Structure formats: C-alpha cells, structure tokens
Amino acid sequence: MPTGRVYSELTRLIFRLSREWSTDNFEPHVTLLGGLLDSEEAILSKTSQLAAWIRPCEIKLTTMDYLDEFFRCLFFRVETTESVMDANLKARSLFKRRRDPKHVPHLSLMYGNFGSPVKEKIIADIGCESNLRFKVRTIHVYSTTGKPRDWFRVREFTLK
C-alpha cells in the first residue's frame, strides 16, 4: 500500500473518480493475492510467515489500462519486477494457490461495469502514463466482505 504523498495523490484520484462516476471508493492498494478462503487465524498466520520471506521493494506504476472486469475496471499497471512477481509466487505457494492464473500486478483506480468508451475518455482526461513510485514495507490483510466501502484492515505485517 502506498504511503505519504503517493497515497494522498492516489486517494484523491480514486475518490474523484468515485464521485464523478457514482462508484464505491477504496484505499489505493496493490493486491498480492485475493480471494483467500481460509479461517482468519490461518490467513493471519500464513501472512505473518509471508512477511518474513518477502523483502521491502519498490512499486512503479506504469500505464493506465482497463479490462472488462468489475475489480479491474480502470487501473495502473505495476512494473513486473522480479521482487513483485516473486512476492506473488511465495504467496501462491504458501496459500496453496499455485494454479491461479498468471498474476497481473496493478493498482485499481475505479471499480464498476463501464464500457470501453467511458474508460478511454477517463484515460484521455487523466493521462495514460504514470511516474509514481513507492516503497512497500508492509502487507495488509483486509476483510473484503460486502461492498468496497465496507472493507476494513484486519492486520498489518512489517516485511523483514
């Protein structure tokens, strides 16, 4: 999760898009592994292990893009560095999710079901390229039950 100036800048953008397009807002984040179905205790225990295995790294946001998916409606792609991809592989291994589709690291800007013309207009208005970077020093576990506005942080783990 970004911090400081980058967090503030991305939060403003996410909240602005949320207001303009009547969508849920959420904190800026890069999902390492979603859809965990274990008990909370098991998830927290495994995430604690994972935090001990992963080193702090830099995240670089590259280009704005979109997919025809609710949770990847509009997003910044994350540069696929060895550190980023290795963190996902370690998480997939620990949570026994090796068969998941290939990880596409990204930072979502807007959730929803909008057609390509809307997304392309937003990209044209905002600009496609990003030069934002931030250091990742923690992993956050979130409860994602319900709508994004109902999500909350369960625990934060410091990377070793």
111-150 pLDDT per residue, tens:
999 999 999 999 999 988 888 999 999 999 999 988 988 8
Written as one string, the DSSP assignment of 15-64 is HHHHHHHT-------B-SS----S-HHHHHHHHHHHHHHPPPEEEEEEEE
What pLDDT is stored for residue 131 in this prediction? Answer: 87
pTM above the 0.85 mark? yes
Q: For 155-160, what is the mean pLDDT?
A: 95
What pLDDT is stored for residue 129 in this prediction? Answer: 84
Looking at every residue in the chain, the average pLDDT score rounds to: 94
Q: Structural domains in the chain? A: 4-158 (3.90.1140.10)
